[in-house]
Structures are given as structure tokens and as C-alpha cells.
Structure 1
Amino acid sequence: MDVDPSPSTSGTDMSLSSNLTAILPKIDEDNIMDPQTAKQKMTEILDMLEGRVEKLRKEAATLEEDKDHILASLDSIRTADWILEMAHFEQEETHRYLDRIIERCLTVDIKIHTQRDQPQEEALHQVNHLIDALVMTLKTDPDGAKEKCISYMNACSSQHVHGIMDKKFENALLGCTLDDQKRVKKRLQGLLSYLDRLDVTCEGD
């Protein structure tokens, strides 16, 4: 039995084809039989598409950071002292509003896959374990957590902020991919900024 092509599918294919044609460089059909020219044109196309892929990854990484910053801000609001000054019904209303925004934010799922071999997977696991342990000490020992965070930051850069550098963290970090190293550094920068704000709040009290 013959099956007619779906109009919607055909329209999608035509749209995709026209969009791809619009972004690709024009190939001179008079010289297409020249193998060298054809290879050069194809290389130009692939180079351009590779650049678009890298741009896409950077934009996705930026969106991922924006999502993390929004969730961190919402969490800070949830634990803010001034919420305790509200009436009980106002607190409940505010928390419901916060929960609604958080749930909405969590519907945005951004994944950037980084290719890693087994040693790189193990190195990243060790780095995340060290940072998670640091986060666990924030409430019990904020000063010690900040000192440890700075030592981790110093391991990420040749220019030390101040204080010592954690060699164990540095060795684990060097085993990670370059993309993971960049993400770890940004995570630590965000954590250090939070600790700095925490210091200002404590001094104000």
C-alpha cells in the first residue's frame, strides 16, 4: 500500500532545508568538479557549523549559570531574617509564591554533555566531593569555610587571592577536563561571593 507523504513533515523538511541553505556559504557550481575546491568549500561549511556549535554551548552554559543564580537568590530570600518580621499569613503567602517560582524555574532543564574518560570522571567526583564537604561546614564554621574556599580558588588560578593553596584540590582539579575546570572555578566564585555577603550581613548585625 502506498503512503502519501505527510504535508506537515514535508513542510518541516522544506523549512529546515531553506534555513540550512541560508546559513551555508554558496558553492560555485562551475568549480564543483574540482576536488580541491569542493574540499575547501566543505571545510568552510564545517568550520562555520563548528563555530555555531561552540556558540550554542556557550549560550547554554550562560543559561545554566542564570538558572543557578536565580535559584540561589530565591533560596536567600527564603532564609532572609526580614521574612520572620512578617505576619504568619504573609509568610505563608510569600513561601507559596517562592515555591511557585522555584518549581517554574526547575522546569528549565539545561544539559551540556562533557566527554570524559574514567580518570577525568573520578577527578571530577573528587572535586565535587571536596566542594560539597565545604558547603556542609558553612553553618557550623563560616570563617573556616571561607578560608577553605579561598584555598580552592587559589588552586584554580595562578594569581592567588590571598592565603594558601590547597594542593589536594589542585591535584584533583588538574585531572578534570578544561570545561569542568572552568565550571568549578565559576562555582567557587559564586560560593565565595555568597560568603562575602554573609560577612557583611554579620558585621551589620
Structure 2
Amino acid sequence: MAEEGAADEAEVKKKDKNENLTQALDDLELKVEHFRFRAQKLEQEREELLRELERLQCQSSSPTIDMSEGEREELIGNTERLIYRCLTVDITVHTVRTPAQEAALGKIKQLIADLDKMLKIEDGMDVKRKLLSYLNASLPEEIEGPTDQKFQGTLLQCTADDQKKYRRMLQARADQFLMHEDADSLSGLPKSNGCADKSDAT
């Protein structure tokens, strides 16, 4: 009888120990996910800082801004210094992907690279329509306007994190394109694509 009681007590202790280990692992898993979330937020913050700095840099270069050449050069120089400082911070959250997701991501990267070439050498409604069709295709909700179905289908094969990343990337390019469009319409000069987006190189 005593032996049975001792065996039961040992079994209870073993079960408690296993439950404690399981609980500890669950707690650590929550901490790991929170750590990844904070890293992703920092990654997004870096992108936003770079976009703001590049927007300021482009505005400073615009002839519509009334300032002396010395003031303009100083402002552009300080902006470039801050961009460089921001680029020295490297934050990368790696995403686990299946082979199919890796293949889809490769296609998206190529489509974005082709779009970037268009933005540098082309002008007018064609490139604007292509950019907006990609952006609309990346949005979680349906929206009026052009939507590239092929791009959308490929993007949906990517991970949720990659979908969010390229949605932000396309939004940044659209904002930058419209900013140049507005600045050029005010100045009366041909559209310039001289300000490259450094915040989200693929």
C-alpha cells in the first residue's frame, strides 16, 4: 500500500514538472512572437523615416521652393547625411516560406524591379496606371480603379508578411510618384524621377 502511494506521488510530481516545462515553453513562445513583432515595427519605422527624408530631399531640390543656393545645398546635404545614418541600421525579420511561396516572391520581386525601371525612364499615364494597378491589387479590400489580376494572384501566393511588405512598398512608390507629379505641375518642368526610394530595396 505504501509503495502504491509513493508511486502515485512520484507520478504526480512528474506530471507537475512536465506541465511547468510546457508552461515555460508557452511563455517563451509568446515572448519570441512579441520580439518578432517589435522588430517588424522597427523595420517599418526605418522605412517610414527614409521615406520622409527622401520626400524632404526631393522637395528641397524643387525649384518651386524659394531659398538661396547655399541654403538649398545645406538642406540637401544634411538630409543626405541623415539618410546615410538611417541606412547604417539594418533590421531584418526573416520569414519562413514554402518552396511555392519562395517562387511567388521571386516573381513579385521581378515585377517590382520591372516597375522601378519604368518609373525611372517613362512618364505619363501608362506608368501611373501600372503602378496603381499593382497597388490596388495588393490591397485587402476591393477598390475602384485598375487592378492587375496577374500581380494580385501571384501576391496572394506569398506569405501574409510579404503581402504587407509589398503593399507598403507600392504605397510608398505611389506617394512618391504623386509628389513628383504635383511638384512638376507647379514648376512647369518635365517630370523628374531623380529621387530613388532607398527605404525598401528588394
2: CA distance, partners of 1:100 / 1:158: 36
2: CA distance, partners of 1:45 / 1:38: 11
> Which residue number in structure 1 is paired with residue 127 of structure 2?
145
> Which residue number in structure 2 is paired with residue 58 of structure 1?
37
Q: TM-score, with normalisation over the residues of structure 2? A: 0.72
2: CA distance, partners of 1:44 / 1:82: 63
Shift of 1:127: 0.6
2: CA distance, partners of 1:88 / 1:176: 47
Bigger drift between 194-203 and 115-124 goes to 194-203
2: CA distance, partners of 1:127 / 1:119: 13
Residues 91/199 of structure 1: CA separation in 2 closer, same or farther (3 Å cut): closer
Shift of 1:94: 2.1
AA at the equivalent of 2:152: E
> Which residue number in structure 2 is paired with residue 193 of structure 1?
175
Residues 186/79 of structure 1: CA separation in 2 closer, same or farther (3 Å cut): closer
Say whether residues 1:42 and 2:24 are aligned partners.
Answer: no
Say whether residues 1:133 and 2:114 are aligned partners.
Answer: yes
Say whether residues 1:172 and 2:157 are aligned partners.
Answer: no
RMSD (Å) for aligned C-alpha atoms: 2.9
Output one character per residue of 1:119-178: Cα deviation in whole Å (capped at 9) or x when no partner. 322211211221232233335235333322332233334522212431221232133222
Q: Describe how 1:88-103 pairs up with structure 2 within 5 A.
A: 88-103=69-84
**Structure possessing the higher relative contact order (Cα contacts under 8 Å, 6 or more residues apart):** 2
SS at match of 2:119: coil
Contact 2:137 2:148 (8 Å CA) reproduced: yes
AA at the equivalent of 1:46: L
Structure 1 portions without partners, runs of 5+? 1-29
Contact 2:64 2:186 (8 Å CA) reproduced: no
Output one character per residue of 1:12-31: Cα deviation in whole Å (capped at 9) or x when no partner. xxxxxxxxxxxxxxxxxx99
> Which residue number in structure 2 is paired with residue 122 of structure 1?
103
Contact 1:155 1:166 (8 Å CA) reproduced: yes
> In the comparison of the two structures, how many residue pairs are matched?
176
SS at match of 1:163: coil
Q: TM-score, with normalisation over the residues of structure 1? A: 0.71
> Which residue number in structure 2 is paired with residue 16 of structure 1?
none
AA at the equivalent of 2:76: H
> Which residue number in structure 1 is paired with residue 198 of structure 2?
none
Contact 2:136 2:143 (8 Å CA) reproduced: yes
> Which residue number in structure 2 is paired with residue 76 of structure 1?
55
2: CA distance, partners of 1:174 / 1:67: 25
Q: Percent identity?
A: 34
1: CA distance, partners of 2:89 / 2:43: 9
